[in-house]
Amino acid sequence: MSSYDVICERIHAGHAPRWCARWERATACVACVVEMIDRPDVSAVRKRAALVCVARAEAVRELLYCEETRGVNFTCSLLRMLSCCVELTLLDQAVEVMVQMTLDKPQFLDFILDNIHSQLSGGGRLNGFMFLGKLMDCHPALSQTLISSHLCVLECVCAGLLVSDEEVKVAVCYVLFRIWSSMSAVHMLPNTLRHKMCVLLLHTLSNTQTTALTINCLGVLKQMLQYSDVVCVLMSVGECVEEQLLDQQPLPLIIKKLLLSAQDSVQLVSIRCVCAVLIYSPARFSTSFIQADLPEFLFESVCSSSDMMMWWIFRCLLLMSEDPLFFSQCHSVYGIESLVRSLKETLGKANTEVQKQGLELLIAILDRQPAGVCLFPTGSEFSAVADVIIKGVASSCLQVSIHAMRAAAFLLRPHHQCRPVQWSEVRRVVESVLCKCSDHPSERAEGLLLHTLACFDAACRLAEVYVCECSMNDSVCSASQQQDTLETLCVYLLHCCDSTFIPTVTRACERLSSPQLLQVFLSILCRQFSLCPDHMTSFSRKLVSSGFIRLTLENKAQLCSENRKASLNLICCEFLIKLCMCVFAHLHNVTTELQDHVECVLQECLASLCCSVSDWCCVLLDSSESIRNTQYCIIYLLYASLLHGHMLLCDAEVFSSVLQFISVQDVSDVSVPSPVQCCVVYLLSVTHQSCSHLDTSDVRSISKALSCSPLLFSFSSVHPSILSFIFCYPELWERLGVSVLSGCLSAGSGAEDGETRSPLLQLLCDHPAALLSMLVVLCEADAAVAHRAEVVLRCFVWSSDSNSSCDVSHQMKSALLNLLQKLTHTDFRVCVLLDVLSVLQSNTTAQSEMNNAEFKLLYHVSNLVAKVNSSDSELLLSVINCLYCFLSVCPSHCTDRVVSLLLGNIRLMEVLENVFSRSSSSSSSSLQCCSLLLLATLISLQHTLSAQVYRNITVDLHKIVRQLAFRKRHTDTLLLMCRMRLLQVWLDVDMCSLVCVCQSAAPVRSVDDALYPLCYSGAQMLMTALCGLMLQKQDVMMSSTVNCLRSLIGFLLRRDTVIAQHMVCQPWTRFLLFSLLSCGGNITLHPAVLTLITLLVCVGGDVSEWKTEVQSVCEEVETQGVTQINDNSLNTLRLLLTQCCALAPPDDLNMRMENLLESLQHQQPCDSSPPQHMLCVDGVCVLLSDFTVNTQQTASSSVL
């Protein structure tokens, strides 16, 4: 077209050349173009070509604008074409030219609008509305121009909606869309015209037949709904009589009709329009849409394949769910299944926005659903929604996961549970939430942690509700499996709280204290006390020891001071009360008075206690009466925390503050409640070791305060530290010791309980002064308490050594003397007192002086023998044991006096003889042991001191030997050793003691005469028995046996050297050594084995005979090294090597032994004397030196 000239040959000759313009490669005559438009004889094709030239050639338009008249005429021609032209392509080209002209010369716009108004007022044409729409596309400000200066045009536009031609209505709607797209133009619209547009639009939508008109109307409606006042107009159309003249429906019904169409685009825009209405006021407008049953359709359409559609459906339903009518008409019940199914599909896609919107809708339904209507009546429905939530939690998008966690928290509400409750599904939901939280560290997802805690709290709350129901109504949990599952879930929740949330939240609070996080977390901890009461003892102790009292108090002080965060303050107080009450309730034998007072004080004062822990010292020093309960509250908190090893304040601060608190109360003459006093004493007792010793005034204040409550220690158990504290200060234990111990013994099951007995035993060991108070309790308390004191004292006597100082020991002995003088021998307490005296005496050093009280005690105990019935084995054991202790540890200058006293007691000698004469079955093993040891000591000391004997004891020597030889497997080890001890002493005095007379037949053979009263067979039997006992390889048994064997060999050497050498050289002796040395290690270098080899070498007088055994010892020493050998073995080894070297051994062995002796010289010499202290074994006091190898005696025996 551009290659041809645009001229009209018929008329072009009359036009001046100035109207011609070059256009591309052709010539265009503007005058021809103007005249051609109106000529009917010019074809539409040529007209269109001319218009194309005008539209594209700027030079042509410039010539056209030169004469205004020609331009106006040309415009009028084009406008006339709008009303009469039927050629669409020509019409479109004419519109394009006019639009271009308005762009070039805006002054044409008003002229065109005036002409358009004329056309539209005359009946209107589709082309006019379309042209107006294109003008508005090209001129954004035209909307304001129409309203400001051409409002009549808009009136005509509105009238166009009343015509029957829907194509015209489509064009009209487009014009309206352009107007409502301009915010400034909308604000300029008169209210009447605005209202009229709303009415006409709804009328048009109510009667539309074509999709194009529907879409355009919805477009206009969508733009209108951006303005709240217009929304109100649209929702109220039809209420006026004038409006009812038009055939239109309310907007909700119109939308419902549109939603029923099969076109997705119409449905989508319709839903968006509903959302646009509801977003302004859901409570005001949602009722109309709900009554129109829109939720039903939306739930049916929720599984759409379009993500956009699903998002807007979710959004629309979410807005309507704010109206209670949504739930009262059961739309949520009918639609929940479709929603769950849609969410399941949506979560498998990649559009996270749709997922979040769907989960928001689920959250709203779960949150707002009335409790009386169950959404999930069956387990399968509950499992389905649980699966969706678990899938959402596992999403890779953190925001989707958080939305799913929120939904989980609402799902776990009690009224959403079916019957029976699906506890396994509940656990699955909790596990998925915990798994997601563990995958995202709290440092990067604080919000995730908060929502995780909220979900977990909901699970705990759900379990708590059903636990309470089960406790009140057994029928709720009639099925045992249901109950078991609930209990399992409760234990699981406690485990998660312990292993996951406590460390996680603690770390989070260390970085930054979050009130929301802390509030939910403390709520979870509070619920654990209801869920798992059986596990709360250990759990509470763990919380306290981990510092949760401090954590709660510090956050409470930081966040809740000055009446801030009231809800957080409330939950902090609730947690602290439950924690402290659990701690106090599980104290051993805690009183009801203590629990009630603690709970009352905590409930009254915790809410107002918002100061930091570091400020507590100042609070305790305040003497104001108004804060007295607050001070008690602080003391209880300190007590509960310190009781399980966590210090809120350092020991020095606690001790000084509490001590000054006591002093202030003393000065103010205030009576401190007994429960508070118990805690005060405990705090002082635990923390006093880190401070200096209390002065007299402080002790007096404490004593006065505690003495004001005589029942303070009567009905509750006393902590061991309190006992230790009281008995550290004489003024305290003198006034309180008896009452404290009586309270301990009267509490609970008494001394038979190990938990009660062990602290008392430790107290008696650490503080001998407590023994005095315990003796007073034994003698002055009632029968039950006295019996428990007896049990404790007996355990102390049998299992412990007293480490009392000399002064305390003398005090106790004086007290014992007074008590024994008051009691008769038939009183059960006499045995206990004697046993205590035995322990005290056994720990008295032999170098100490015996005072007057001790001699009186010895005399009193000795006289008891005459009063004791021979059948009373228990009292006899205590008496003889006590006498043996006196005799064993008495000073050397007092020994003759003690021995004379005992030997002069004829009844004592009769009792000892009676014990030996009775069979082992009728006499206790302990009594026999004690009698044997006493007799052996008397024989030894009488022989040494040549003391006078008034009555001797007849003993069957051969019976004792036979018992050692044939009954050792059926006899206690201690009894065997005591018998060997008696034989050892008897052999050392050549069996010629005046104290003990042997029952033995007259000797028949000369060999028996030499060994009388032992005789040859008895010596041989004893030798064999001792060898057999050595083979048992028990440490003390070997020492006792070699001591007796040494005394036997010495006895034989003194009586007949030939017999002695003959017995020593028997094969069993070499077999004994072979058996012992074959064990190697500690057995080879045992002092007893080394002593035995020394004896054999010395008796034989030649090392060669025992060369193999000596070499075995040397090899073992070289293998171990002298530095690894204990002191006793070193002393015995040194004696062995010295004796062997003195007997001219073979050269190689001699050199070897000399090298060993030289290496022994580099070792620091140790004391070779046997230990002199006593031990209590099975109720028998034993002098340890009697059963230890004496290297000094070994050295002297080698000379024999």
pLDDT in tens, 503-536: 888 888 878 778 999 999 999 999 999 998 888 8
Q: Which carries the bigger pLDDT value, residue 970 or residue 317?
A: 317
Instruction: Please report where in the chains the tokens 């060369």 appear, as a residue.
Output: 1107
Q: Which residues contact 862 (CB under 8 A, 6 or more apart)?
A: 883, 901, 902, 905, 908
Give the whole-angstrom CA distance, residue 582 versus residue 562.
Answer: 29
Q: How confident is the model at residue 677 (pLDDT cuts 50, 70, 90)?
A: confident
Counting other chains too, the contacts that 1156-1160 makes at CB distance below 8 Å and 24 or more residues apart are 1156/1114, 1156/1117, 1156/1118, 1156/1122, 1159/1122, 1160/1122, 1160/1130, 1160/1133, 1160/1134
Q: What is the DSSP letter of 754?
A: H
- Predicted confidence at residue 455, as pLDDT, reads 94
Strand pairing category for 1180-1183 and 1174-1177 = antiparallel
- Predicted confidence at residue 1055, as pLDDT, reads 87
- Predicted confidence at residue 577, as pLDDT, reads 93
Summarised one tens digit per residue, pLDDT across range 1176-1196 is 777 788 888 888 887 655 444
Summarised one tens digit per residue, pLDDT across range 286-332 is 899 999 889 998 998 888 778 899 999 999 999 999 999 999 888 88
Q: Which residues contact 17 (CB under 8 A, 6 or more apart)?
A: none
196: left (phi over 0), alpha (psi -120 to 50) or beta: alpha
Contact 156, 120 (CB under 8 A): yes
Contact 938, 899 (CB under 8 A): yes
- Predicted confidence at residue 479, as pLDDT, reads 44
Using DSSP, state whether 137 is helix, strand or coil.
Answer: helix
- Predicted confidence at residue 766, as pLDDT, reads 78
Give the whole-angstrom CA distance, residue 599 versus residue 116.
Answer: 89
- Predicted confidence at residue 1198, as pLDDT, reads 40
Q: How confident is the model at residue 122 (pLDDT cuts 50, 70, 90)?
A: low
Give the whole-angstrom CA distance, residue 505 versus residue 525.
Answer: 12
Give the whole-angstrom CA distance, residue 234 versus residue 75.
Answer: 40
* Cα within 13 Å of Cα(214), Cβ side: 21
Summarised one tens digit per residue, pLDDT across range 817-869 is 888 888 887 877 888 888 888 887 877 765 466 778 888 888 988 888 888 88
Strand pairing category for 996-998 and 953-955 = parallel
Q: Which carries the bigger pLDDT value, residue 1005 or residue 890?
A: 890
- Predicted confidence at residue 846, as pLDDT, reads 53
In percent, how much of the chain has pLDDT > 70?
A: 85
- Whose CA is closest to 1177, among 828, 787, 838? 838
- Predicted confidence at residue 795, as pLDDT, reads 78
HEC letters along 263-321: CHHHHHHHHHHHHHHHCCCHHHHHHHHHHCCHHHHHHHCCCCCCHHHHHHHHHHHHHHC
- Predicted confidence at residue 1046, as pLDDT, reads 92
- Residue 802 pLDDT more than 60? no
Cis peptide before 533 (omega within 30 of 0): no
Report CA Rg, the chain.
56
- Predicted confidence at residue 13, as pLDDT, reads 56
Would you state the structure tokens that stand for residue 1131, as one six-digit string?
């002393």
- Residue 919 pLDDT more than 90? no
Summarised one tens digit per residue, pLDDT across range 591-624 is 777 788 889 999 999 998 888 888 888 888 888 8
Summarised one tens digit per residue, pLDDT across range 1126-1158 is 877 888 888 888 888 888 788 888 888 888 888
Q: Which residues of 210-224 are buried (b: 16+ CB within 10 A; e: fewer)?
A: eeebbbbbbbbbbbb
Would you state the structure tokens that stand for residue 174, as one six-digit string?
């487009």
29 — phi, psi (to 5°)?
A: -105, 115
Distances (CA, A) of 723 to 583, 700, 727, 766: 21, 17, 6, 10
Give the whole-angstrom CA distance, residue 951 versus residue 655.
Answer: 65
Give the whole-angstrom CA distance, residue 653 versus residue 690.
Answer: 10
Summarised one tens digit per residue, pLDDT across range 1009-1044 is 778 888 888 888 989 888 888 888 888 888 899 999
Summarize the confidence of residues 882-890 as an average pLDDT.
88
Q: Which carries the bigger pLDDT value, residue 966 or residue 69?
A: 966
Min mean pLDDT across 202-211, 437-446, 1028-1037, 1111-1120 is at 437-446
Distances (CA, A) of 45 to 6, 61, 82, 344, 1120: 12, 20, 17, 61, 128
- Predicted confidence at residue 409, as pLDDT, reads 95
Summarised one tens digit per residue, pLDDT across range 1083-1141 is 888 888 888 888 888 887 788 888 888 888 888 888 888 777 887 788 888 888 888 88
Counting other chains too, the contacts that 598-606 makes at CB distance below 8 Å and 24 or more residues apart are 598/636, 598/675, 601/629, 601/632, 601/633, 601/636, 602/573, 602/576, 602/577, 602/633, 602/636, 603/573, 603/577, 604/629, 604/633, 605/629, 605/630, 605/632, 605/633, 606/572, 606/573, 606/576, 606/577, 606/633
Q: How confident is the model at residue 443 (pLDDT cuts 50, 70, 90)?
A: very low
- Residue 953 pLDDT more than 70? yes
- Whose CA is closest to 648, among 612, 615, 613? 613
Element (H, E) at 475: none
Summarize the confidence of residues 131-138 as an average pLDDT.
78
Min mean pLDDT across 228-237, 434-443, 818-827, 919-928 is at 919-928
**Side chain identity, residue 554:** E
- Whose CA is closest to 385, among 350, 349, 361, 420? 361
- Residue 136 pLDDT more than 60? yes
Contact 27, 20 (CB under 8 A): yes
Summarised one tens digit per residue, pLDDT across range 548-565 is 889 999 998 888 888 888
Summarised one tens digit per residue, pLDDT across range 224-261 is 999 888 889 888 876 554 455 566 788 889 888 888 88
- Predicted confidence at residue 473, as pLDDT, reads 58
- Whose CA is closest to 1189, among 1075, 1057, 1065, 1093? 1093
Contact 96, 137 (CB under 8 A): no
- Predicted confidence at residue 768, as pLDDT, reads 75
Min mean pLDDT across 307-311, 485-489, 702-706 is at 702-706
| Average pLDDT, rounded, for the chain | 82
Q: How confident is the model at residue 175 (pLDDT cuts 50, 70, 90)?
A: confident
996 strand-pairing partners: 953
**Side chain identity, residue 756:** T
Give the whole-angstrom CA distance, residue 1087 versus residue 1094.
Answer: 10
- Predicted confidence at residue 833, as pLDDT, reads 83
End-to-end C-alpha distance for the chain, whole angstroms: 154
Cis peptide before 420 (omega within 30 of 0): yes
- Predicted confidence at residue 249, as pLDDT, reads 83
- Predicted confidence at residue 422, as pLDDT, reads 92
Give the whole-angstrom CA distance, residue 9 versus residue 11.
Answer: 6
- Predicted confidence at residue 1200, as pLDDT, reads 44
Min mean pLDDT across 49-58, 206-215, 711-720, 1016-1025 is at 711-720
Give the whole-angstrom CA distance, residue 678 versus residue 384.
Answer: 57
Using DSSP, state whether 713 is helix, strand or coil.
Answer: coil
- Residue 698 pLDDT more than 80? no
- Whose CA is closest to 1179, among 796, 761, 798? 798
Q: What is the DSSP letter of 4?
A: S
| Alpha helical stretches, state H, 800-870 | 806-822, 829-842, 852-867
Summarised one tens digit per residue, pLDDT across range 16-43 is 566 776 666 667 777 777 777 777 767 7
- Predicted confidence at residue 86, as pLDDT, reads 59
Tell me how many degrees the CA angle 1105-1107-1108 measures, rounded to the nearest 5: 115
Contact 716, 591 (CB under 8 A): yes
Summarize the confidence of residues 368-378 as an average pLDDT.
90
Question: How many C-beta neighbours within 10 Å does residue 789 have?
Answer: 28
Q: Which residues contact 254 (CB under 8 A, 6 or more apart)?
A: 202, 205, 206, 248
Tell me how many degrees the CA angle 29-30-31 measures, rounded to the nearest 5: 95
Give the whole-angstrom CA distance, residue 648 versus residue 641.
Answer: 7
Q: How confident is the model at residue 132 (pLDDT cuts 50, 70, 90)?
A: confident
902 — phi, psi (to 5°)?
A: -75, -40
- Predicted confidence at residue 404, as pLDDT, reads 95
Tell me how many degrees the CA angle 1125-1130-1136 measures, rounded to the nearest 5: 130
Residue-level length of the chain: 1200
Tell me how many degrees the CA angle 954-960-962 measures, rounded to the nearest 5: 135
